[in-house]
């Protein structure tokens, strides 16, 4: 049986390399490929810094680089974009898994998240993270990535892209995963999203916080293999 393609999508402030540690753990059963969103890492920004444009970019990539529908795993923002692509282009996406994806956007939530995007505060309180962001982002200065991410969150707070009505249009099988120690995404919003999806399911990962670097990867790989390969695993 040929290995299916599994596209790995990074989160906000991340880049393709963020999810690259999954590649060697998946490649015996999948063809795992990473994708970088515009304005992140070394990928030039070729349009507005929005989830809609990120979805457009992913659709263009799938149309030109892949043959047939692929499976998608998206961490945080990557899951949000992956679901939007699945909604708009079901011919390109077979199934989706998300981890730590925030669905409950509002102006209050966006304002709260903006407090964590102050470059001066990051440099003062978590300088190692500032250094990491500076090394990660070369297409744009990391401070600009923070500013644009804040604008994107504000836009989502004013008008969420994936409300319940939009989620009901996603026909593919979707597994919504959330860590039991995630301080950014609640179990309640994840469960509500899974319930709104016609073929949605919820999985809570034990001993798992929000940062991808703290996710127990073997446990995540087990879930992805179960979802995308099922009895073939």
Extract the tokens encoding 87. 């909604």
Summarize pLDDT for 173-216 with one digit per residue, the tens.
999 999 999 999 999 999 999 999 999 999 999 999 999 999 99
- Over 60: is that where the pLDDT of 232 sits? no
pLDDT value of residue 231 = 47
pLDDT value of residue 141 = 98
| Cβ contacts of 38 within 8 Å, gap of 6 or more | 44, 45, 46, 47, 49, 53, 54, 57
The highest-level CATH class for domain 5-103+160-232 is alpha beta
- Judge residue 154's burial from the number of C-beta atoms within 10 Å of its C-beta, 0-12 exposed, 13-18 middle, 19 or more buried: middle
Least confident among 23-27, 72-76, 144-148, 229-233: 229-233
pLDDT band, very low/low/confident/very high, at 66 (cuts 50, 70, 90):
confident
Alpha helices of the chain — where are they, by DSSP H? 23-26, 51-65, 77-88, 107-114, 119-125, 127-136, 142-158, 164-167, 187-196, 217-229
CB atoms closer than 10 angstroms to residue 222 = 14
Summarize pLDDT for 115-139 with one digit per residue, the tens.
999 999 999 999 999 999 999 999 9
The mean pLDDT value of the chain amounts to: 96
- Over 90: is that where the pLDDT of 79 sits? yes
Domain boundaries of the chain, sorted by first residue: 5-103+160-232
pLDDT value of residue 233 = 40
- Over 70: is that where the pLDDT of 21 sits? yes
In the chain, the percentage of residues whose pLDDT exceeds 90 is 96
Q: What is the CA radius of gyration of the chain?
A: 17
- Over 90: is that where the pLDDT of 230 sits? no
- Over 60: is that where the pLDDT of 9 sits? yes
Average pLDDT over residues 74-91: 98
């Amino acid at each position: 049986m040929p290995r299916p393609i599994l596209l790995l999508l990074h989160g906000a402030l991340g880049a393709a390399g963020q999810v690259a540690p999954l590649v060697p753990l998946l490649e015996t059963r999948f063809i795992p490929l990473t994708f970088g969103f515009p304005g992140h890492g070394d990928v030039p920004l070729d349009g507005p810094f929005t989830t809609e444009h990120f979805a457009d970019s992913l659709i263009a990539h799938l149309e030109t680089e892949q043959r047939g529908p692929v499976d998608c795993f998206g961490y945080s923002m990557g899951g949000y974009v992956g679901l939007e692509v699945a909604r708009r282009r079901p011919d390109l996406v077979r199934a989706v898994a998300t981890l730590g994806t925030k669905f409950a956007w509002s102006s209050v939530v966006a304002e709260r998240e903006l407090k964590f995007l102050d470059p001066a505060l990051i440099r003062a309180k978590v300088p190692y993270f500032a250094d990491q962001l500076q090394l990660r982002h070369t297409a744009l200065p990391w401070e600009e990535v923070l500013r644009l991410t804040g604008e994107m969150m504000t836009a989502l707070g004013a008008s969420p892209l994936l409300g319940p009505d939009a989620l009901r249009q996603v026909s593919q099988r979707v597994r919504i995963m959330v860590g039991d120690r995630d301080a950014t995404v609640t179990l309640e919003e994840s469960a509500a999203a899974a319930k709104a999806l016609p073929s949605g399911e919820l999985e809570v990962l034990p001993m798992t916080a929000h940062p991808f670097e703290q996710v127990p990867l073997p446990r995540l790989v087990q879930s992805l293999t179960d979802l995308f390969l099922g009895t073939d695993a």
